[in-house]
Structure 1
Amino acid sequence: MPDTNRTPAKTAAALLVDCLAEQGCDRIFTVPGESFLAVLDALPDRPEIDVVTCRQEGGVAFMACADGTMTGRPGVAFVTRGPGATNASIGVHVAHQDSQPMILFVGDVARGMQGREGFQEVDFPAFFAPICKWAARIDDPARIPEYVARAYAVAINGRPGPVVLALPEDMLVEEVSGALHPRPFVSRVAQAVCPDAMQALFDLIADAASPIAIIGGAGWNTKARTYFQQFAENIGLPVATAFRRQDAIAPDSPVYAGNLGYGPNPKLLDRVRQADLVIAVGARLGEATTDGYSVPTLEHPGQILIHIHPDPEELGRVYCTDLALCCAMDEFAECAALWEDAAIIPFDAGDTAHRDWLDWATPQPSDANMDLAACVANMRTTLPSDTIICNGAGNFAGWWHRYWRYAAYPGQLAPTCGAMGYGVPAAVAAALRFKDRTVVAVAGDGDFLMNGQEMATAAQYAVDMIVIVVDNGAYGTIRMHQEREYPSRVSATTLSNPDFAKLGAAYGAWTARAETTREFDAALAEARDQKGLRLIHVLTDLEHIAASGATISGLRAKANSTS
């Protein structure tokens, strides 16, 4: 009798695509490569998976990282070996440092060619191991379901992060026969909140005189945001967000104290320094958030530190922790909001901290022709409150960090590891994921030219998004440091730029050029009423180099006075 339970033979590539579909993958980002042609051939048979063809592998990986940030499920990318994989490594590094789930599949040399330094050969498990949670090569096609299921589990559990799987090209074309089925959908595994630890937490809060919370990071989601805000407002707890995690709480919450990171409100730094209790929820308390591990200090004498994080390996790894809770952020937040034994007299500090932030985040009059603070304030009245702001790295971003209100979740896509070129690819991913929301990519001139070619991807897929290119003719952040350390000795930081409006038009975008605040406001109003791809080229004065108020002349004067 024939075995009716056995499935027809299929290629390993087809099995791989089936496994991705089984896990709920609905989109992949790729630059096609000869090394995984079999996967490209299998994808049309799974129309539920949208394939987004990009222009450079760095953009591919940034889009996948951003997609994972928005969905909480791994963003999926496919690139080829050698140059493709090394280009994509920047996105893997961002996903790792930002604690975002992502899976990068890399087409690899044939198994019989390995170890000879064949064409574009790289030892991918060794290459990626330091910047991802797990890196491996699938040599046996029968184990594809196992590897894919494990990749999803590793990427989403504990501290989320990237996984890299290499796919030998000869393995992908092997036929896999028998009753092999994709593994079941993998869900997040979370440790339950410990009641005794929760009681200890509330006891410490009740004993505190000046507590503060620092939130946002691994595993944060809408549920965590809603419940933690409820908890903090119930007790008047001041809440600061970690670097580039400003959408972790609603900005109009009466306890929101502002964001930590580069160029924060000095009053907020003082508040963290003077706190007798610091509650870190989701945040790793990395270098940017803590001003170089100084606010709070690693040993934080005179302060009690409570650290809540989904990964036990993060607790106590860098900071001396007085009370550690390992659990899912949303489960902790819900438990805290609904905790019945909390006998805490509400603090007044939440209201004061919020007023301090409002003062800091309100633009003041400026003599600059292009006043970026005023431009951002006008954006708040012109665009919907749930607009998603995407940016890469550079001083330009500080204006949005300080003056924009990240009112929705997700509302901020920005790399905490400080990678340039992230904004445009992230905006493409956001516009594809949230077609009913306004998406804005904000990029500096140097930042834009690192991945601005993904505007071609946006045009190809008829993406609705606005790009704002802030052009000061320099690598502004490095120029700022240069003027502070070596005043008036400019080296390697000046840029000669194209006409970004004309460049945007070449991609098929509606474009405008703005040299004054009034011109920007008019251009933004017109852009709002357009559809498709739009770009505003904003020319700014390098003198006004930072949202903190720093100027080139001021940096030089201060450096000269202390030298």
Structure 2
Amino acid sequence: MTHMTAAKAIVEVLLREGVEKAFCIPGESYLSVLNVLYETPRIELISGRHEGGVSFMAEGYAKASGKVGVCFATRGPGATNLSIGLHTAHQDSTPMVAFIGQVESSFRGREGFQEIDLADYFRHLVKWTVELNDARRVPELVHRAFHMARSGRPGPVLISLPQDVLDETAEMVFQESEMLSHPRPDRQAVAKAKEILRHAKRPVIIAGGGVTSTKSAKELVELAEKLQVPVATAFRRFDAFPNQHPYYIGQLGVGAAPYLVECIREADVVLALGTRFSQITTQNYTLLTSGTKLIHVDISPDELNKVYRPALGIVADTKNFMLDLLAELGESGQSKEREAYIQEQREKYEQYSEVRVTSGQHYVNLEGIMGDLMNHLPSDTIFTSDAGNFYGWMAKHYRFQEEGTFVGPTSGAMGYALPAAIGAKVAQPEKTVVAYAGDGGFMMTVQELETAVRCKIPVLAIVANNNMYGTIRMHQEKHFPKRVIATELSNPNFAQIMTNMGGHGELVEKNEDFVPALQRALASSKPALIEVRIDPQQVSAARTIEELRAAQPAKQM
């Protein structure tokens, strides 16, 4: 039992939970916590330029490190700015704990300065919210927050910190504990899964976040080979399975390849590993047919039967399920028919994803850029990505060879790539980390370039610039051809912005200049940025604006 302030007790719990890095925008409502962190060198506090960026940093750090991401923000505007990263963490099942300052207890309910009922506001965005109203309960509630963030389906947790409570002193009782939350499947369920898969004619595995979060690509490779089953990855889970493996057949994302959608719709058995069957993965909830037997494995019982009714639903840690199924399978024979089926799907993937166009006539061609990145970056390079049509070239052409090499938001959040790359680089400083973004999203958090320079975090940003909100322009042309409004942009010279910030900037206007620019950027050992000018007419990897307009007549108003 130790006598201390609530602020000091919060930091003590962080230390006991193994927190080494935290991200913040400073605010007067939690100055007492900042004051304790000042004398706590074991925790590095990284201050950003906007709460949205800070929340993305913590979320990217959590994904890249496998630890709980921690961030701090002040009340009111700071809290609402922070919310985008918490929503992303919720949809991506990323463990985070957010501490937000709050109005003094005696001022609550009077519409005090920047007052928001934080617990109520965030309730549907996070796994759990709590307001700290009693200093004595700091050990209990903060330890519980970390447990909630990690356990079951991981996710974000928010703690509201009334300013006056932080300075209250109390006798704190800290109890050491270790929480293990990796449930194993029922043995009968594993045996039944084995039976269903053994008798399948055209099975497919869909690998989701349950594979990436448990770093179990190795086990998935072994399982796929032993079962002779091809593997597709869920939306933005490219690295759940090595893309160069002959059993990999593609990713289920926006505009998924028709051959892959057809393959899964014709499958007689689908083994879904740790995926929540999101709208994007399921192609607007149309992916599975009534003739498909679904084996759905997820750590959260809430995810089973939420979208599709499984023939067999198994509540378990994905890695433990695979290990138990591998043990149950023992030695298995090989089927020539199954191998031919897999080879057919693999050949379709290779034909679809092959880089054919290596340069553009008047602009940089992103297909060629994908080939250059694969040829000139280490295989363990970590990519973070914004949302936008520029990402379609990566989704189609880039082949992720190692797990833990893609960090992207299934929430479709713009402005994510740069701050998430900062968080990922803090987590994995020895690896090359590349933020891949379009001009629209990049401008939403461009100020975090200063954070990277000030804190000496050498990330590389690649910005595809077509001076428009490309995704929305695509939809605009599909539904209201030629009626262009609100999607055209003008941009500064991004490379010059990076140089002015103190980093290394490059502008590339033709493909043959990209690799030398890439090499110079990496050799600079500074935060770096390469702006690539892309064709505004090529609004997606599949269509130009004129092709979209020709496909559908203008609507009559």
TM tier, shorter chain?
over 0.9
Cα offsets for 1:36-93 (capped at 9, x unmatched): 0000011133221110111100011111111221233220011000000000000010
Q: Is the 8 A contact 2:197 2:227 kept in 1?
A: no
1:414 Cα deviation after fit? 0.6
Q: Distance in 1 between matches of 2:386 and 2:282?
A: 20
Distance 2:71 2:179 in 1: 20
- Aligned equivalent of 2:544: 551
Alignment RMSD, CA only?
A: 1.6
Letter in 1 for 2:410: T
Q: Distance in 1 between matches of 2:333 and 2:118?
A: 53
Report the alpha carbon displacement of residue 418 of structure 1 after superposing the two structures with TM.
Answer: 0.2
CA 136–342 in structure 1, closer or farther in 2 if over 3 Å, else same? farther
Question: Are the equivalent residues in 2 in contact too, given 1:65–1:75 (CA < 8 A)?
Answer: yes
Q: Which one of 136, 146, 157 corresponds to residue 142 of structure 1? A: 136
C-alpha separation between the residues in 2 aligned to 1:513 and 1:45? 43
Any idea what SS the aligned residue of 2:216 has?
Answer: helix
Partner of 1:92: 86
CA pair 312-132 structure 1, distance change in 2 beyond 3 A:
same
Q: 2:314 maps to what in 1? A: 325
Which residue matches 1:309?
298
Whole-angstrom distance in 1 between the partners of 2:256 and 2:435: 22
Equivalent position amino acid for 1:263 in 2: G
Corresponding position: 1:107 with 2:101: yes
- 2:328 corresponds in structure 1 to 339
Q: What pairs up with 1:158-307 in 2 under 5 angstroms? A: 158-177=152-171, 180-218=172-210, 220-221=212-213, 223-296=215-288, 300-307=289-296
Alignment deviations for residues 11-53 of structure 1 (CA, whole Å, 9 cap, x no partner): 1100110001101111110000000000001113322111011
Structure 1 segments unaligned to the other structure (5+ residues) = 1-5
Q: Distance in 1 between matches of 2:508 and 2:315?
A: 49
Q: Measure how far apart 1:345 and its partner are.
A: 4.5
Instruction: Check the 8 A contact 2:360/2:510 in 1, yes or no.
Output: no
What is the Cα deviation at residue 188 of structure 1?
3.8
Task: Find the partner of 2:424 among 414, 426, 430.
Answer: 430
Q: Summarize deviations over 1:218-277 as a string: whole Å, max 9, x none.
A: 463454211011100222211000000001111122211111011222111110111111
Q: Which residue of 2 aligns with 1:3?
A: none
Could you tell me how far apart the structure 2 residues matched to 1:344 and 1:126 are? Answer: 56
Q: CA deviation digits over 1:525-551, x for unaligned, max 9?
A: 22232211111111111111222x211
Mark the CA change 1:353 to 1:182 in structure 2 (over 3 Å): closer, same or farther. farther
Give the corresponding residue for 1:480: 474
Is 1:352 aligned to residue 344 of structure 2?
yes
**Aligned position for 2:458:** 464
Q: Which moved more, 1:359-368 or 1:319-328?
A: 359-368
Separation in structure 2 between the aligned mates of residue 325 and residue 224 of structure 1, nearest angstrom: 18
Given residue 309 of structure 1, which amino acid in structure 2 is its aligned partner?
Answer: D
User: Who is 2:519 aligned against?
Assistant: 525
Query: What's the secondary structure of 2:303's corresponding residue?
Result: coil
Q: Distance in 2 between matches of 1:340 and 1:272?
A: 24
User: What are the within-5 Å matches in structure 2 for residues 122-133 of structure 1?
Assistant: 122-133=116-127
Alpha-carbon distance between aligned partners in 2 of 1:220 and 1:514, rounded to the nearest angstrom: 34
- Between 65-74 and 433-442, report the one with greater CA deviation: 65-74
Q: Deviations over 1:178-211 (max 9, x none)?
A: xx34343553412222111011111111121111
1:382-441 deviation per Cα after TM superposition (whole angstroms, max 9, x unaligned): 111110011111001111122222222211111001000000001101111111110100
Q: Which residue of 2 aligns with 1:455?
A: 449
Alpha-carbon contact 1:202-1:342 (below 8 Å) kept: no
Alpha carbons of 1:77 and 1:252: their partners in 2 closer, same or farther (altered >3 Å)? same
* Deviation digits for residues 103-143 of structure 1 (CA, Å, limit 9, x no counterpart): 11100011111111111011111100111110110101111
Distance 1:528 1:329, change over 3 A: same
CA distance in structure 2 between the partners assigned to 1:165 and 1:204 by the alignment: 45
SS of residue matched to 2:232: strand
Q: Distance in 2 between matches of 1:467 and 1:185?
A: 41
Q: Deviations over 1:454-507 (max 9, x none)?
A: 111100111111111110010000000111111111111000111111111111
Q: Aligned in 2, Cα 1:197/1:311: closer, same or farther, shift over 3 Å?
A: same
Give the CA deviation at 1:381: 1.1
Please state how far the C-alpha of 1:343 moved relative to its aligned partner: 5.3
Point out the more displaced range, 443-452 or 359-368. 359-368
Could you tell me how far apart the structure 1 residues matched to 2:228 and 2:74 are?
Answer: 52
Give the aligned residue type for 2:107. M
Pick from 450, 474, 487: which aligns with 1:493? Answer: 487
Query: Matches of 1:210 and 1:293 in 2, distance apart?
Result: 21
Which residue of 1 is the match for residue 148 of structure 2?
A: 154
Query: Is contact 1:15–1:182 with CA below 8 Å preserved after alignment?
Result: no
The aligned amino acid for 1:558 is: A
Q: Distance in 2 between matches of 1:410 and 1:559?
A: 41
- 8 A contact 2:59–2:423 mirrored in 1: no
CA distance in 1, matches of 2:553, 2:333: 51
4+ runs deviating over 6 angstroms:
none
Structure-2 change in CA distance of 1:202 and 1:219 (3 Å): closer
Between the two proteins, what is the percent identity of the paired residues? Answer: 38
What is the CA deviation profile of residues 150-177 of structure 1, one whole-angstrom value per residue up to 9, with x for unaligned ones? 1111111111111011011100001123
Q: TM-score, normalised by structure 1?
A: 0.95
**Residue 193 of structure 1 contacts residue 332 of structure 1 at CA under 8 Å; is this kept in 2?**
yes
| TM-score, reference length from structure 2 | 0.96
Whole-Å separation in 2 of the counterparts to 1:84 and 1:64: 15
